[in-house]
Amino acid sequence: MKGQFLSNKLGIVKNGILTSNPTFRLVLGMCPTLAVTTSAFNGLGMGLAATVVLICSNALVSLLRKVIPDKVRIPAYVLIIATFVTLLEMLLKKFIPTLYSALGIYLPLIVVNCIILARAEAFASMNKVGDSILDGLGMGLGFTLALVVMGFIREFLGAGTIFAGSLGDIEFGITQDAFPNYKLPDYSLSIFVLPAGGFLTLGILMAIVNYISDKNKEKKDKEHEAKLHRALEVAQAVENANTQKEEE
């Protein structure tokens, strides 16, 4: 019983990260996904900020789910989310000003982020507080994962750096300083830090995720079919045995 409880709770978190990943499977919150992921560090910051807001708003919406009248639920959700975003904005401005300036307008825009509103509407308003917090955690981590992967690819291909600004600006390979008299060619594919590269990366990643999930589904279907087939065979065998007995 306890094991089932635990796996149930884990399932909620796993659902957010993998099975219905907000970016690749639900295709929610595309605006920050495309705009902020020019570097992995920005993606990480944006993802974590959204996760914090998501957990807090899911908890509060879930607590108030019986109090909020149905007709004014959307304004109520927006009010709750806006409160947490304002708090977060002030905290970031005070303690991590670099991230605050890097995220710019997209930080206050978390208020209208589809993922947060969608989880409040679809999950938190119908489930208990504990489950809602776990759902917020899973969805937030899924969003963060997607943003970091996208940011990593775009930054690596477009600017030639890995987590720039977070690992003390380590440069790999040959650097310009080694050749003072010769200007090294710039091989970076700068389209990837432009908006067009964001769409390109997102499209290709989404295609890969769809391919993998289709493959998994096919596998499961085949297993299911094989099971059914076996059960049918067994039933047939039993029936044959029965008829033989009757004949005897």
Partner 1 sequence: MAKYIVSSSPHITSKTTTQKIMLDVIIALIPATIASFLIYGLYPIFIMILSVGCAVTAEWLFNLVTKRQQSVRDLSAIVTGMILALNLPPVVPFYVPMVGSFFAIIIVKMLFGGIGRNFANPAITARIFLVLCWAGVMTRFVNPIDLSNGMNLFSYFENVVNINLPDAITSATPLAGVKEAIEAGGNPAAGLSALDMFLGRIGGSAGEVSTLAILIGALYLLIKRVIDWKIPVIYIGSVVVFTAIFFANSEYVGEYVWTYLLGGGLMFGAFFMATDYATSPKAPLAVCIYGIGLGFLTVIFRKFGSMSEGVSFAILLMNIVTPLLEKITPRIFGMKSKWETNGKKIGEWFKKVFSKKQKSEEKEAQNG
Residue pair 132/62 in contact (Cβ under 8 Å)? The answer is: yes
Q: How far is the CB of 39 from partner 1 (least distance, A)?
A: 18
Size of the site for partner 1 (CB under 8 A): 14
Q: How far is the CB of 190 from partner 1 (least distance, A)?
A: 6
Residue whose C-alpha is closest to residue 29's, from 144, 134, 190 = 144
Given the complex with partner 1, which of 98 and 190 has the nearer CB atom?
A: 190
**Binding marks (x or -) toward partner 1, 160..199, rule CB under 8 A?**
-----------------------x-xxxxxxx--x-xx--
Given the complex with partner 1, which of 186 and 246 has the nearer CB atom?
A: 186
Per rule CB under 8 A, is residue 235 in the interface with partner 1? Answer: no
- Distances 119 to 13, 77, 85, 165, 172 between C-alpha atoms, Å: 13, 10, 16, 32, 41
Given the complex with partner 1, which of 5 and 187 has the nearer CB atom?
A: 187
- Sign of torsion over alpha carbons 41, 199, 29, 7: negative
| Alpha-carbon span 184 to 181, nearest angstrom | 9
Among 18, 114, 200, 205, binds partner 1 (CB under 8 A): 200
Residue pair 28/18 in contact (Cβ under 8 Å)? The answer is: no
Residue pair 172/133 in contact (Cβ under 8 Å)? The answer is: no
Given the complex with partner 1, which of 34 and 189 has the nearer CB atom?
A: 189
Among 87, 122, 204, 241, binds partner 1 (CB under 8 A): 204
Given the complex with partner 1, which of 214 and 239 has the nearer CB atom?
A: 214
| Alpha-carbon span 137 to 5, nearest angstrom | 17
Per rule CB under 8 A, is residue 78 in the interface with partner 1? Answer: no
- Distances 216 to 7, 11, 30, 132, 220 between C-alpha atoms, Å: 20, 17, 25, 27, 6
Query: How open is the CA angle 23-204-135, to the nearest 5 degrees?
Result: 15
Which of these ranges, 17-25, 48-56, 200-208, 229-237, lies near partner 1 under the rule CB under 8 A?
200-208
Q: How far is the CB of 106 from partner 1 (least distance, A)?
A: 23
Per rule CB under 8 A, is residue 205 in the interface with partner 1? Answer: no
To the nearest 10 degrees (0 to 180), the angle between helices 195-247 and 129-159 is: 130
Residue pair 74/125 in contact (Cβ under 8 Å)? The answer is: no
Given the complex with partner 1, which of 82 and 200 has the nearer CB atom?
A: 200
Q: How far is the CB of 178 from partner 1 (least distance, A)?
A: 17
In the complex, the residues that contact partner 1 under the rule CB under 8 A are 183, 185-191, 194, 196-197, 200, 204, 207
